[in-house]
Structure 1
Amino acid sequence: MTPSLTSHHPDLSKSFARMPADYPRRVLLAVCGLSPQIVTETLYALAADEHAPFIPTEVHLITTAEGARRAELSLLSDDLGWFHKLCADYRLPGIKFNRHHIHVMRNAEERAMDDIRTRQDNHDAANFITDQVRHFSADPDCALHVSIAGGRKTMGFYLGYALSLYGRAQDRLSHVLVSDPFESSWDFFYPTPYSRVLQTKDGKLADTAMAQVTLAEIPFVSLRHGLPVALLAGHASFNDTVMAARAALAPPQLIIDLPGKRILAGNKTVELPPAELALLAVFARRVQQGAPALAAPAKDVPDADWAKLYLREYRAINGSMAADIDATTKALRDGMDGDYFSQRKSKLDRRLKNALGAAAEAYRIKDGGTRPRRYSLTLSPDAVRFVTNVAFKKEIK
């Protein structure tokens, strides 16, 4: 009878009931250079884990142009086909892995990369790997297992770092360990359930049935919560993603450029429409002045004092002669009511969240959490500055 990796473990049903093995889509994502056996070694180790066996529904490999050729010939060809042999030997069902699942790294000009040797190569590889992880982690029904055991050290580093940036609770990171004398042997792909003798790199003979392959899981800190929505939803470079994560962890600093219609929040420039920027400026000004929290205007009751505060900042943004000033002044001629305030605040919150992710929380206008609601920015006075266009440009260099 053909052996099964999971048949050795009587607690299989309990293991499969645990996260992340119960996700409908389970992806093994690995990097490799010229040693494609990392795929079969890791796949074997995942399925053989007696505590939490994880059988992927699909396998994806990130590699170089030459690495792709070797992977296709050694893992998928009719002559060798070690991936198919592994699945047959251990009855691993329905794992999708074909030549379209082998992703050759591409540079900025969309040319296939042969290696990572230059600074530009490193930059392009980081972007490509980050985009792959972002793509898979965008699927809420997918549990992603990332292996950093193969390829150049830079490839493994970028893959692990990308998972730290985008990874979720159901995702895992690991390195596979192979016992001597099978490690680095070109002819070894996994421990076989039958005797198979090969010659090791030092010229000795060894039986692959005696090999031991284990998985070393690597804990990682997920920074996903700190990324802006725009970076989670679309393509972003490795550097942009890292900068966004840094911004989420950095002490809040708010620099406001009214004429430039922009702010610098957590080292990220955010363009804001005058209507939302003016409201933020009202509360930033109060932080600088040490003024107390402010009650919002009442619903359907125009407040002249609130309109005066708001229009002062609005004019500083648009200039007193702008056409928008007349329209806004007319809309607030009787004062600002609660609906106008709420609309501006809601739009400001959305724009900050989309641009800054979790870091936006430090720059939101908050209501104090108790009634009566009193609104303020919870920044310290030394964390808020108003600057001109020229000064702003110096800040972002």
Structure 2
Amino acid sequence: MKTILLAVCGLSPQVITETLFALHQQGPQIDAIRVLTTRAGKDACLAGLFRAGDGHYYRYLDEYGLPRDAIDFAPRHLLAVLADDGTEIDDIADEYHSERFLRLCMEETFALARDDEQCVLFSIAGGRKTMGACLSLAAQCYARPQDRIYHVLVQPSEFENCRDFYYPPRTPRTIEVLNRERRPCHMSTAEAQITLVPMPFFPLRRQLTPRMLRRPESPAALMLSLVREDKPQLLIDLPQKKIVWKGVECDLTPSLLALYAVLALHKQEAACAKSPCLNCGDCALSVDQILAKQADITRLYQRLTTREAVKSGATALDEEHVGQYRSKINRLIAGTFGDHEARALRVGSRGARPVRYAIGVARELIRVVL
């Protein structure tokens, strides 16, 4: 299996060779390296790692007996974050820069993690803290079981802050460092210790659907896709003479509620294959079909009122009554739930000649209490 090191780096390219050294001490062969950085970080890596074929990256390979082509790593693999206009961003200095860097991390992580025949090792040790946080977040979104996140610790701190220290050489040598008082002193590289720290993380990839893995997404988009709220329910409560949606109640008169309930019951029983309702019309009724349900409407109306039923209104509907009742229902729903929610709850019209009427909300979300 191919192993790729994906690292973030700022103005200290030493972190790349330090990480490489630590990984090699533990045994894994690194087949490729990709570095996510800024324009300034890219320049620092070019100067420190690749300078004229004699940079510290090449020195490390030579010193530890690795062929220069043993690892797929070259200046073109230093990926600087880009602004909207395509120019390289100099530093991660504000929220916009952080958003762009997070996008770069998501894109590169997504691309590398698509190949099941390779393992990705994420190094979050370099650059500003926000850079490591961005790569860690991308790894949590797209990493597989074989992938790992690492941090690198360099001790004593004199070596961590030394611009001339890139890795412990095979033959120790004395170099100038700054002590804790920021004064120059000399220390042997034999004292340097590089520790590779595996970082636990909670992989989300198994929770993502195939649609979510078609292309890289923002963490916010993935989180919204993973958060599955309980579906709302349209409760038509005849004993209480009201309808309830998302905790908001709307009172309807017996005649309006009887018509609305009959439309809801018909929708529940309809042989409609589409959900949510997309204007297929199978659950809709024409005026003539509504009038044909007069017995059902009358029965419900009589359960809702104590008044003696008379041959008018809900007990004797005609085309004009249906239009009036529909308009009243829709006005009350819009006034109670707002225009946006009313789109699903109102009695909408479908087609033409004859026009058919139906409640928009999906039938599986409807509950009628008789």
TM-score normalised to structure 2 length: 0.62
8 Å CA contact 1:144–1:172 kept in 2: the answer is yes
2:96 aligns with one of 120, 128, 135: 120
1:127-159 CA deviation, whole Å, 9 max, x = no partner? 111111111111111100001101111110010
* Higher deviation after alignment, 173-182 or 204-213: 204-213
Counterpart code for 1:225: R
- AA aligned to 1:318 is N
Residues 311/242 of structure 1: CA separation in 2 closer, same or farther (3 Å cut):
closer
State the 1:210 CA deviation: 3.3
| Matched-pair contact (CA < 8 Å) for 2:271–2:282 | no
Instruction: Mark the CA change 1:134 to 1:256 in structure 2 (over 3 Å): closer, same or farther.
Output: farther
Partner of 2:40: 66
Are residues 1:88 and 2:65 paired?
A: no
User: Given the alignment, which residue of 8, 11, 14 partners 1:34?
Assistant: 11
1:217 aligns with 2:198: yes
Unmatched tracts of structure 2, length 5 or more: 235-263, 286-336, 345-370
Deviations 1:175-212 (A, max 9, x none): 11111121111110000001332211231112224321
Residues 77-226 of structure 1: pairs in structure 2 closer than 5 A:
77-78=51-52, 80-93=54-67, 94-180=70-156, 181-201=158-178, 202-226=183-207
Alpha carbons 1:68, 1:103 under 8 Å: kept:
yes
Question: Conserved in 2, the CA contact under 8 Å of 1:131 and 1:237?
Answer: no
Aligned mate of 2:21, from 32, 35, 44: 44
Structure 1's unaligned 5+ residue stretches are 1-22, 258-287, 290-304, 326-386
- The 1:112–1:241 alpha-carbon spacing in structure 2 relative to 1, beyond 3 Å, is farther
Q: Is the 8 A contact 2:36 2:105 kept in 1?
A: yes
- Corresponding residue for residue 391 of structure 1: 341
Determine helix, strand or coil for the equivalent of 2:120: strand
Q: Secondary structure at the match of 2:184?
A: coil
User: For the structure 1 residues 108 and 228, does the alpha-carbon distance in structure 2 shift closer, same or farther, using more than 3 Å as the test?
Assistant: farther
Letter in 1 for 2:147: D
The aligned residue for residue 236 of structure 1 is 217
* Secondary structure, counterpart of 1:66 in structure 2: helix
Residue correspondence of structure 1 range 312-351 to structure 2 within 5 A: 317-318=278-279, 320=281
Give me the whole-angstrom Cα distance separating, in 2, the residues matched to 1:315 and 1:59: 47
- Residue 226 of structure 1 and its aligned partner are, at CA, apart by 1.6
Instruction: Give the C-alpha shift of residue 254 in structure 1.
Output: 2.5
More strand by percentage: 2
- Structure 1 residues 196, 239: closer, same or farther in 2, change over 3 A? same
Question: In structure 2, how many angstroms separate the alpha carbons of the residues matched to 1:54 and 1:228?
Answer: 31
CA contact (8 A) 2:150 2:197 kept: yes
1:204 is paired with a residue of what secondary structure?
A: strand
1:239 Cα deviation from its structure 2 partner = 2.6
Tell me how large the CA RMSD over aligned residues is.
3.3
1:73–1:80 CA contact under 8 A, matched in 2 = no
CA deviations on 1:282-320 (whole Å, 9 max, x unpaired) are xxxxxx99xxxxxxxxxxxxxxx9996323978963264
Counterpart of 2:355? none
Letter in 2 for 1:83: Y
Is the CA contact (8 Å cut-off) linking 1:27 and 1:56 kept in structure 2? yes
Q: Highest CA radius of gyration, 1 or 2?
A: 2
